[in-house]
Amino acid sequence: MSVFDTLSPAELEALALSLRVASWNLAVGLPLAVAVAWILARRRFVGKELLNALVHLPLILPPVVTGYVLLLLLGRRGPLGELLEQAFGIVVAFRWTGAAIAATVMAFPLMVRPIRLSTEAIDQRIEAAAGTLGASPLAVFATVTLPLALPGIVAGGILGFAKGMGEFGATITFVSNIPGETRTLPLAIYTLTQIPGGEVGALRLTLIAVVVSLAALIAAELVGRSLARRIAA
């Protein structure tokens, strides 16, 4: 009997929602992280330090503050939230999509950092050589920069996915704790610790969260090392 056989429907629902949120966080956040990391690593412009600070700000701010800022901006009465609702009929506050946004914001620095370091480690003479052979800047980026930065991209993606699975503070502040809609795995654990007899369920979900996080960290390390060896060869 697997541990999943002992999970209640509500616990399975929370696990499935967390996987959904983390997957969307990865699908949307990773391409943006690659672009921002490349800009920070390769471009000089006024305001670069400010952009770098804004990218890493969620690492320093309390998650509740980040969630409250998202609520102010993307809530139904917020400037962006009201615009989205009136123009496109999109509501993200107190929806699972809002949980995905909160996870992406909190995971974004963890994705950008390893990608930027990997990009900065690339010998720019290789990119320059490709340019002198007639490759366009986009072709250089796609055929030289991206493959060489792949260890950082993979590591950032795995860490971002794990962070998306475990995000709590910004999520509960921005989208609340609604069963079946925004109650992700961490929120389900918190809920179970607040009700009598919920300790067993909380322990089951905690073990799952620990296993997922450890697997993500180990995978990031192993895949990063393997790709680094291949690139070096």
pTM, whole model, 2 decimals? Answer: 0.87
Buried b (16+ CB within 10 A) or exposed e, 175-201: bbbeeebbbbbbbbbbbbeeeeebeeb
pLDDT tens across the length of the chain (233 residues): 455 557 788 888 998 999 999 999 999 999 999 999 999 998 888 989 999 999 999 999 999 999 999 999 999 888 999 998 888 888 898 999 999 999 999 999 999 999 999 899 888 888 888 888 888 888 888 888 998 888 889 889 988 998 998 899 999 999 999 998 999 999 999 999 988 888 888 888 898 888 887 887 787 778 767 766 766 66
**Crossing angle of the two packed helices 9-42 and 48-60, in degrees rounded to 10:** 160
**Structural domains of the chain, with CATH:** 3-232 (1.10.3720.10)
